[in-house]
Structure 1
Amino acid sequence: MNIIFIDGKCLICNGLVKIIYRIDHKKRVKFCHLQDPKALDYLQQDFVKNLSTVVFYQNGEVSTKSDAAIAVMVELGHRYFRVFKIIPRPLRDWLYEVVAKNRYRLGKELETCPVPDKDLASRFL
């Protein structure tokens, strides 16, 4: 099973879920907010506490930050995203963290996790 865990109160994160949902025609991934208690069924507490990173759970393996973003795109059939692996992880993750730290400035913090429409809701745990 492939699951993308995101900060449910992040407007940008929820926007990315909608984009991934639209391009994932084969329904390869499911979604879960890190604030959802179901996240603990798949992730250790440390991952669930850190709301500033996306977590990609793929067949029992966990990736975070830029590795997670690349792995999601590869899973969705965009294999050319592997080219970003040539950039050293510390540099990729630094760039990821700059965006993550400013995500509430770039898109407001939501008071609650949004309720998705019926079709998208079926893709959440």
Structure 2
Amino acid sequence: MARPRECAILLFDGYCVLCNGWAAFVVRRRGDWPVYFATLQSEAGQAALARAGIEKPPGLDSVLLIRGERVFSHSRAILEILRSLRWPWPLFYVFILVPRPLRDGLYRWFGNRRYRWFGRRDACGIASAHVRARMLSKDSDAV
């Protein structure tokens, strides 16, 4: 299974401790994958959504992955991200075989509890310097 090498943007909830941790996890395991980050609340995130043709910004209930002309959300975004990381993480792409309603139901169940289990930041911010180095600015043209 070949890893997708296309430049991508990962959008996530900047207040969510788990989401910030997920972004740091991706940076440490991305290898040579050209992935950039923006929070869903930021001007850069909103600009990336507009460039992707998403007129009505989604809520904060899902990580989004923009790769080329495709936008992935919920469990599919997570699986596409895992597929793009260094070994052994692409192995988890096998869960694409699980029916999407079941995968997304589990994703939403977990997502609805993320603040309770992992906490919520008082301000939207990125703790990891590695992630900050790959953050988009409002005028970025990464994709």
Question: Whose helix proportion is higher, 1 or 2?
Answer: 1
1:26 Cα offset (Å): 1.3
TM-score (norm 1): 0.89
Contact 1:55 1:68 in 2 (8 A): yes
- Unaligned residue ranges in structure 1 (runs of 5+): none
Contact 1:28 1:76 in 2 (8 A): no
Distance 2:78 2:120 in 1: 21
Q: Counterpart amino acid of 1:60? A: E
Structure 1 runs of 4+ with >4 Å offset: none
Calculate percent identity across the aligned residue pairs: 29
Give the alignment partner of residue 118 of structure 2, picking from 107, 116, 125: 107
Distance 1:119 1:17 in 2: 9
Aligned residue in 2 for 1:64: 73
* Distance change in 2, residues 1:118/1:101 (3 Å): closer
Contact 1:28 1:75 in 2 (8 A): no
Distance 1:31 1:119 in 2: 11
Aligned residues: 124
- Unaligned residue ranges in structure 2 (runs of 5+): 1-6, 137-143
Deviations 1:20-46 (A, max 9, x none): 111112142111100011122221243
Quick check: 24-33 or 113-122, which moved more? 113-122
Contact 2:14 2:126 in 1 (8 A): no
Aligned residue in 1 for 2:131: 120
TM-score (norm 2): 0.79
